């Protein structure tokens, strides 16, 4: 492994946000009290944002060193202690783990996304959460979330990745249920936490299996004995790596990925995560938690690539989730719920790319998605801010001329996710679809379903833009300060007596993200191919991946552009040309359309899972409680108590308190002893 010149700085990348979290937790409220509300909040927000952006700057320096001086492999290990030291973490038997960062293109790409996009979301949050009464607590959790995600992507072992994995799960719970006084918010946080724990069982079992087969949990080591080093050469600790072992490891880790990255059937927590503040939604959906599963699968690509059956499962689950969620997004009326189901669908695209062996394409879509999905969520938050808390698109319309910056930037995000040339999503989505087309056996089917999902994506995102901005106004102009703002009623004094543009702290991140949504995909054009070449040291070697050739690049791009244009055109016709009523406006038509009814009812997945695991599980738990707790445990305790009481009752009768009774008892006892002694002496 290469010696990184800036290795002594790597530890600053995760530690800077951690320092922010500790400062806000310990001193945030005191700073606001000492400096006054306005200046104190400004300082807390500035520190929170500044430390994340400082981490971004360090990431840029380390990345430049990695690219320029990294040699052929562009991979290095760096200690996560001060000065680049490498402290021991666990040394037990054959398990030896250290606080060490694996610095390679994959980890540094994610550091740039997490700190760069995350920093912009922090800046946005300083305006969005400006009057929230728990301002320091919010930025404590926000900075902690960034720290945990950085530990996840930088960890040099599966165990250290798992620390970050669990950390982002904890932070998501804290942020989704941030307004915990509202029971629905608390339930949403609990749901996210519990569903993710189901996936985490797969991750834990995967780690145990890796250790039993390879004898280590380190990804890469300087001497080439990390389990990914061994897997790349088809080896384990003692023998050749079998297809069965690779398949078992891959499927177990993929269960964990389904939980974190919201794939069927464990996607049900993500739409409910909208209960948290909009900056939380943007951070979870765009830059941090939900991409963790894709990052983990890409990191383990040397093993996945040797498990064809597992790869097929990844591709199938990803594509099925993409279609399922896109259908639900097309009928939602809550502007944030549309984007939530859109995220689930786009994550499915990423797993489709990984499942057909195009790991670089999957990560390319992670990157472009971070730009346009953060933009769309923050734009939605700006719309909600302008509408004094309203999230129902049926009560919007006519906003394009009222909040011009928000509208213009969201147009960039809309065109990017729709796949219009030359916006960012166009390049990454086409790369995945073209890779899927070249997959053996089922390539044409994967491509056809993927294209249909892309068409539906362009349609429902056009629906969102039309209903919010381009259809006639459907709301009553508010008068006076409503006392609401953001997407809640928890003390956000954002109302300003009418529809209004967001403050500069919110619009500047929108402008930057809009620019990235326009040009951010150019590094991955099929002619430059710079993104795939950049990621080469982090993914399975070409010898492990069968190359998939789809249609010629120009043909594929043209087909993608036509599909996007068709979806946008259908959406404009249905919702802008038809006016405020829109497509399927007639109640009778909606009720008679089984697809519309199914999508409106979330394809009944939530209801079925609730009946099985909450209803059925609750009844099972009740019966176990009645048998195990009441009958077995309580019965045993009660039996001991009854026996003790019965014995005590017999003994109690011998304690009469009369002297003559004791004398008779002693006499009888003495007679028994004498008889026993004499009987023994006369025995032959």
Asked whether residue 392 is domain-assigned, the answer is yes
Confidence band of 3 (pLDDT split at 50, 70, 90)? low
CA dihedral 584, 590, 596, 600 (to 10 degrees): 110
Cα 13–chain centre separation: 21
Answer yes or no: is 672 within a domain.
Answer: yes
Q: Does a structural domain hold residue 67?
A: no
Q: Which of these, 597, 626, 385, 594, lies nearest to 510 by C-alpha position?
A: 385
**What is the Cα–Cα distance from 211 to 209, expressed in whole angstroms?**
5
The pLDDT, as a whole number, for residue 307 is 95
Tell me the β-bridge partners of 97: 90
**Which pLDDT value is given to residue 480?**
44
Question: 216 pLDDT band (50/70/90 cuts)?
Answer: very high
Please indicate, yes or no, whether residues 380 and 411 belong to a single structural domain of this protein. Answer: yes
The secondary structure of residue 4, as a DSSP letter, is: P
Mean pLDDT, rounded, of the chain:
88
pLDDT average, residue stretch 267-289: 89
Averaged over 453-472, what is the pLDDT? 94
**652 and 620 fall within a common domain:** yes
Of 536, 554, 584, the position where a domain reaches its end is 584
Cis omega (within 30 of 0) for bond into 265: yes
Q: Are 380 and 339 in contact (CB under 8 A)?
A: yes
Do 473 and 339 share a domain, yes or no? yes
546 — pLDDT class (breaks 50, 70, 90): low
Binned at pLDDT 50, 70 and 90, residue 590 comes out as: low
Give residue 680's pLDDT band: very low, low, confident or very high (50, 70, 90).
Answer: low
Of 524, 555, 584, the residue that ends a domain is 584
Same domain, 533 and 621: no
333 within a domain of the structure (yes/no): yes
Instruction: Check whether residue 529 and residue 635 sit in a common domain.
Output: no
**Cα distance between residue 263 and residue 260, in whole Å:** 8
Query: For the residues 95-120, what does the mean pLDDT come to?
Result: 94
| Same domain flag for 345 and 485 | yes
Residue 182: the pLDDT is 87
Q: Do residues 333 and 396 both lie within one domain?
A: yes
* Parallel/antiparallel/unpaired status of strands 88-92 and 76-79: unpaired
> Tokens 């802008």 sit at which residue?
576
Span 61-68, average pLDDT:
88
Residue 467 DSSP one-character state: I
* Pairwise CA distance, residues 275 & 174, whole Å: 12
Give the range among 165-179, 207-221, 572-586, 613-627 with minimum mean pLDDT. Answer: 572-586
Residue 482 is predicted with a pLDDT of 38
Under 8 Å between Cβ of 355 and 311:
yes
Task: Flag whether pLDDT at 547 surpasses 80.
Answer: no
Q: What is the residue range of 566's domain?
A: 307-584
Contact 454, 563 (CB under 8 A): yes
In a domain, 615, yes or no: yes
Nearest to 457 by CA among 497, 429, 491, 421: 429
Choice among 24-28, 335-339, 578-582, 591-595 with the minimum mean pLDDT: 578-582
Do 82 and 92 form a contact (C-beta atoms < 8 A)? no
Token pair listed for 676:
């026993």
Question: Is 2 a residue whose pLDDT tops 90?
Answer: no
Residue 667 has pLDDT above 70, yes or no: yes
Asked if residue 563 has pLDDT above 90, the reply is yes
The model's pLDDT over 421-460, given as tens digits with 9 standing for 90+, comes to 999 999 999 999 999 998 887 899 999 999 999 999 999 9
**Residues recorded for the chain:** 684
Least Cα distance to 433 among 276, 513, 315, 267 occurs for 315
Distance of CA 18 to the CA centre of its chain: 20
CB atoms within 10 A of CB 547: 9
Do residues 552 and 428 both lie within one domain? yes
CB atoms within 10 A of CB 66: 24
* Euclidean distance between CA atoms 578 and 650, whole angstroms: 92
- Give domain status of residue 626, yes or no: yes
Residue 31, in any domain of the structure = no
Structure confidence at residue 583 (pLDDT): 47
Is the pLDDT assigned to residue 580 strictly greater than 50? Answer: no
pLDDT value of residue 214: 96
Rounded mean pLDDT of 517-526? 90
SS3 3: coil
- Please count the other Cβ atoms lying within 10 Å of the Cβ belonging to residue 220: 24
pLDDT of residue 605: 85
Answer whether 202's CB lies under 8 Å from 253's CB. Answer: yes
Same domain? 461 vs 548: yes
Please state, for a pLDDT cut of 90, what percent of the chain lies above it: 60
Closest C-alpha among 323, 409, 322 to residue 371: 409
Q: Both 566 and 640 in a single domain?
A: no
| Contacts (Cβ under 8 Å, ≥6 apart) of 390 | 384, 396, 475
* Termini Cα distance of the chain: 93
Residue that the structure tokens 């979870």 belong to: 284
- Per-residue pLDDT at 143 exceeds 50: yes
Please check whether residue 671 lies inside any domain of the structure: yes
Same domain, 550 and 649: no
Q: How many domains does the chain have?
A: 2
Burial label for 424, CB within 10 Å (0-12, 13-18, 19+), is buried
CA distances from 292 to 259, 262, 298, 444, 450 (A): 10, 10, 10, 29, 22
Is residue 178 predicted with pLDDT exceeding 90? Answer: yes
Backbone angles phi, psi at 235, to 5 degrees: -120, 160
Q: Are residues 535 and 612 in the same domain?
A: no
Distance, in Å, from the CA atom of 81 to the CA atom of 100, rounded to the nearest integer, reads: 8
**What backbone torsions phi and psi does residue 77 show, to the nearest 5 degrees?**
-110, 135
């Amino acid at each position: 492994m290469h010696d990184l010149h800036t290795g002594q700085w790597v530890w600053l990348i995760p530690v800077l946000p951690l320092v922010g979290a500790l400062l806000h937790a310990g001193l945030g409220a005191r700073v606001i009290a000492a400096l006054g509300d306005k200046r104190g909040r400004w300082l807390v927000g500035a520190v929170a944002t500044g430390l994340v952006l400082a981490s971004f700057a360090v990431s840029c320096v380390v990345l430049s060193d990695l690219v320029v001086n990294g040699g052929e492999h562009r991979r290095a290990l760096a200690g996560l202690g001060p000065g680049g030291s490498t402290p021991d973490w666990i040394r037990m038997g054959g398990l030896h783990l250290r606080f060490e960062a694996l610095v390679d293109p994959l980890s540094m790409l994610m550091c740039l996304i997490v700190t760069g996009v995350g920093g912009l979301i922090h800046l946005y949050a300083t305006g969005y959460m400006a009057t929230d009464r728990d301002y320091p607590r919010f930025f404590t959790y926000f900075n902690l979330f960034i720290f945990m995600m950085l530990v996840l992507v930088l960890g040099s072992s599966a165990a250290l990745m798992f620390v970050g994995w669990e950390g982002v799960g904890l932070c998501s719970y804290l942020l989704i249920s941030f307004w915990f006084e509202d029971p629905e918010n608390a339930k949403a946080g609990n749901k996210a936490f519990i569903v993710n724990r189901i996936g985490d069982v797969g991750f834990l079992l995967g780690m145990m299996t890796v250790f039993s087969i390879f004898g280590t949990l380190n990804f890469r080591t300087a001497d080439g004995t990390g389990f990914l080093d061994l897997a790349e050469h088809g080896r384990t600790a003692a023998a050749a790596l079998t297809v069965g072992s690779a398949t078992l490891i891959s499927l177990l880790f993929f269960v964990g990925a389904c939980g974190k990255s919201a794939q069927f059937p464990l996607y049900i927590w993500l739409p409910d995560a909208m209960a948290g503040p909009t900056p939380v939604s943007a951070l979870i959906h765009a830059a941090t938690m939900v991409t963790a599963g894709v990052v983990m699968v890409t990191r383990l690509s040397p093993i996945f690539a040797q498990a064809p059956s597992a790869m097929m499962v990844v591709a199938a689950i990803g594509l099925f989730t993409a279609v399922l969620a896109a259908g639900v997004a097309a009928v939602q009326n809550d502007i944030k719920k549309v984007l939530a189901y859109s995220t689930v669908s786009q994550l499915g695209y990423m797993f489709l790319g990984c499942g057909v062996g195009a790991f670089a394409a999957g990560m390319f879509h992670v990157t472009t998605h971070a730009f346009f999905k953060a933009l769309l969520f923050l734009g939605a938050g700006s719309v909600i801010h302008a509408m004094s808390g309203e999230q129902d698109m049926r009560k919007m319309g006519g906003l394009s001329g009222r909040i011009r910056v928000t509208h213009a930037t969201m147009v960039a995000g809309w065109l990017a996710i729709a796949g219009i040339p030359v916006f960012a999503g166009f390049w990454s989505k086409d790369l995945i679809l073209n890779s899927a087309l070249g997959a053996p056996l089922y390539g044409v089917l994967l491509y056809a379903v993927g294209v249909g999902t892309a068409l539906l994506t362009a349609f429902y995102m056009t629906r969102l833009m039309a209903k919010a901005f381009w259809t006639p106004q459907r709301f009553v102009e508010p008068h006076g300060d409503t006392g609401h703002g953001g997407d809640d009623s928890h003390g956000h004094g954002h109302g300003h007596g009418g529809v209004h543009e967001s403050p500069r702290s919110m619009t500047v991140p929108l402008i930057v993200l809009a620019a990235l949504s326009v040009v951010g995909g150019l590094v991955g054009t099929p002619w430059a191919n710079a993104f795939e070449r950049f990621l080469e040291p982090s993914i399975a070697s070409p010898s492990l991946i069968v190359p998939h050739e789809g249609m010629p690049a120009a043909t594929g791009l043209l087909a993608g552009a036509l599909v996007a244009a068709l979806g946008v055109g259908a959406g404009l016709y249905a919702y802008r040309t038809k006016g405020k009523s829109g497509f399927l406006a007639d109640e009778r038509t909606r009720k008679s359309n089984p697809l519309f009814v199914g999508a409106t009812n979330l394809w009944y997945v939530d209801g079925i899972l609730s009946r099985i695991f909450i209803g059925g599980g609750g009844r099972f738990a009740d019966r176990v409680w009645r048998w195990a707790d009441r009958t077995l445990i309580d019965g045993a305790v009660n039996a001991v108590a009854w026996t003790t009481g019965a014995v005590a009752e017999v003994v109690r009768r011998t304690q009469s308190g009369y002297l003559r009774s004791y004398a008779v008892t002693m006499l009888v006892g003495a007679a028994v002893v004498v008889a026993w002694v004499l009987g023994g002496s006369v025995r032959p």
